[in-house]
Amino acid sequence: MMLWTAPDPAPNPRRVHLFLAAKGLEMPRTELSLFKREHKAETVLGKNPRGQVPFLELDDGRVIAETVAICRYLDELHPEPPLFGGTAFERAETDMWIRRVETALGVPVGLVWQHGHPMTARLVEQIPAMAEQARARAGEAMAWLDGQLGDDGWLAGPRPSMADIVLLTTLDFAGWIGIDVPAELARLRAWHDRARQRFPG
């Protein structure tokens, strides 16, 4: 297998890196420079026509793209420790939280990155009002997540899961582009500390 990936802080590749570390798995990696647009090279698009990283190339040449699909596949091959839940309910609960984090928080954070960050200015026609609106939506999503979390524990039930990895990488990337978790969101901040300790890297 070959993991086609990119260095931090790219949040989607980092999800797979944290997942592999949590499983104690290693595999060969090819790191592409997003800033040199290596993920858009013809040979790379031939493997993943979506033109994004990460993607996993199997030994027979088949390709799995999309972070969660890659991790789900590896979780089936290497079930311990389970990071997608052990029962039907836990699997559904993990999926539910992954979708919530990706749609409620990941989408606005992505819009702030695209429309409000100098590093993406040459890639899209930026709409500053879009960035501002998205920044507010990201703040609302953080507040909502804070209200859903308990004083300890994890996003999808009592055990850490892929949903925690997705939220951790999204929050870290948000911080990197200047969207910090507000000081008053004590539960989310405490969860963030726990998640960094549980999934270092």
Ligand X SMILES: N[C@@H](CCC(=O)N[C@@H](CS)C(=O)NCC(=O)O)C(=O)O
Q: Name the residues that contact ligand X, by CB under 6 A.
A: 6, 10-13, 34, 39, 51-54, 66-67
Side chain identity at 194, as an amino acid letter?
R
User: 2 vs 26, 30, 108, 132, 133, CA distance in Å?
Assistant: 10, 7, 31, 39, 39
Q: How far is the CB of 34 from ligand X (least distance, A)?
A: 5
By C-beta, is 21 or 107 nearer to ligand X? 107
By C-beta, is 66 or 90 nearer to ligand X? 66
Q: How far is the CB of 9 from ligand X (least distance, A)?
A: 9
Q: How far is the CB of 182 from ligand X (least distance, A)?
A: 24
Side chain identity at 198, as an amino acid letter?
R
Cβ atoms of residues 15 and 165 within 8 Å:
yes
Comparing every residue's Cβ against ligand X, the nearest one is: 52
Q: How far is the CB of 185 from ligand X (least distance, A)?
A: 24
User: What one-character-per-residue DSSP string does 179-191 give?
Assistant: -PPPTT-HHHHHH
Half-sphere exposure of 19 (CA within 13 A, CB side): 32
- To 5 degrees, how large is the angle CA 138–CA 75–CA 84? 45
Helix, coil or strand: residue 120: helix
Q: How far is the CB of 158 from ligand X (least distance, A)?
A: 26
By C-beta, is 121 or 186 nearer to ligand X? 121
Q: How far is the CB of 160 from ligand X (least distance, A)?
A: 19
Please choose, from the candidates 7, 98, 12, the residue with its C-alpha nearest in 3D space to the C-alpha of residue 50. Answer: 12
By C-beta, is 8 or 140 nearer to ligand X? 8
By C-beta, is 108 or 189 nearer to ligand X? 108
Cβ atoms of residues 64 and 58 within 8 Å:
yes
By C-beta, is 51 or 147 nearer to ligand X? 51
